[in-house]
Structure 1
Amino acid sequence: MSLHVDRYDRLTRTFHWLTAAVVIFMFASAHIWENLEKGTPLRKGLQSVHISLGIAMAVLIAARIVWRLSGGSRPKADSHPALNVLAKMAHGCLYLLLLAQIGLGFMFRWAQGEPFTFFGTFSIPAPFVVDHAWRGTLGGLHDTVAWAIILLAGLHAVAALWHHYVMGDNTLRRMLPGSRNAFEK
């Protein structure tokens, strides 16, 4: 028997908003450091935090996938079936892009042959050799996938706002933080 819920569970909402915050920070930090002089403490610091958050993102996405497959509560979609299919496809693409981005980021770092640590506490050794010659290609792909994530996440946000303001349904409210009654019409 399936229990109908009107909102995503707290852990799903937390995963969603943490992922959004980390993606936005990582995208912004990469574009900020590109405008800073090489070797400056701020540039190196942003890169270090970016790398550490990339490791955290890998753990976060793995946890999201496990939680999703194990049955975190999901409200029943109340949109047209074609829109539901599009939403599922977009979510699937976001997961695939995030997984690809994590893999590309790790491989790019390993191709650079530089230490790869989580906030200086432990390093992530390469499980295989990544040829230094691939560094430029991996970096370019990492940048391209970052833009794809931002564009698709932007469409995702626009769709949520469209549901809220045009359709007048509860799609956006289901993912907002706060108590159940805080966002009722």
Structure 2
Amino acid sequence: MTQHPSRPSAADHYSLPLRGLHWLTVIAIVVVYGVTYLEDLFASGTPERALVWWTHISVGLSILGLVALRLVFRVVGPVPPPSAALSRPAHLAASVAHVLLYALLVATPLVGIYLAFLRGNEVTFFGLFTIPSPVAVDRTAARQVIEVHELLANALVVLALLHAAAALVHHVVFRDDVLRRMLPHR
């Protein structure tokens, strides 16, 4: 059977665990970023507003876990070679973008955890476990750290959107295998 030139073989796809973790990470980013817009719907100190931040923090911690699993699967599992459709400069740009995405996926939640601790809050993961704050409350530092957290979160979302746009351009315009390698396959 002849392989269609724009349809990657199973060996050229990312593994099922990596594909699953990728799409779970996408969903988690949408939830963790999107839920913050619900804050203003509820008065300060209400259970609903507390639920918004409980969800934000729990999903943020989930992102750290997903990234850790992704890194393990990348190290121990097979990772397909770069797509033949990518030129050397495009592959280099994609590699830099991936490194930056991973760095932001780790740094953003870690800074968020530090922010919660500076505010005197404990960090809980969907009520399954709680991490008490190991640092003294410092509201002045918290105001500075929230700006860093927001900057990192915005950078993560912008870079993720650029990543998605590049994948869509490859799929729709160039009609190559770049996006299909991360999609479920038959």
1:87-102 equivalence runs, <5 A:
87-102=94-109
Which letter does structure 2 place at the counterpart of 1:137?
Q
Query: 1:134 corresponds to which residue?
Result: 141
Quick one: structure 1 residues 130 and 13, their matched pair in 2 at CA, closer, same or farther if it must change by over 3 Å? Answer: farther
Post-superposition Cα deviations, 1:105-157, rounded to whole Å, max 9, x if no partner, equal 11001101122111222111345557443111111111111110110000000
Which letter does structure 2 place at the counterpart of 1:95?
Y
1:21-100 equivalence runs, <5 A:
21-78=27-84, 79-100=86-107
Partners of 2:24 and 2:71 in 1: CA distance: 14
Instruction: Select the residue among 115, 118, 131 that pairs with 2:122.
Output: 115
SS at match of 2:142: helix
**1:30 touches 1:47 (CA, 8 Å); kept in 2?**
yes
Q: TM-score, normalised by structure 2?
A: 0.87
Aligned alpha-carbon RMSD (Å): 2.0
SS at match of 1:167: coil
**1:5 touches 1:76 (CA, 8 Å); kept in 2?**
no
**2:123 touches 2:130 (CA, 8 Å); kept in 1?**
yes
Q: TM-score, normalised by structure 1?
A: 0.87
**1:108 touches 1:139 (CA, 8 Å); kept in 2?**
yes
Structure 1 segments (4+ residues) deviating >6 Å: none
Could you tell me which runs of 5 or more consecutive residues in structure 2 were left unpaired when the two chains were aligned.
Answer: 1-9
SS at match of 1:117: strand
Which letter does structure 1 place at the counterpart of 2:170?
H
Instruction: Select the residue among 18, 21, 36 that pairs with 1:15.
Output: 21
Partners of 2:42 and 2:71 in 1: CA distance: 36
Which letter does structure 2 place at the counterpart of 1:73?
V
Partners of 1:72 and 1:38 in 2: CA distance: 48
Give how far 1:34 is off: 3.4
Q: Does 1:153 align with 2:151?
A: no
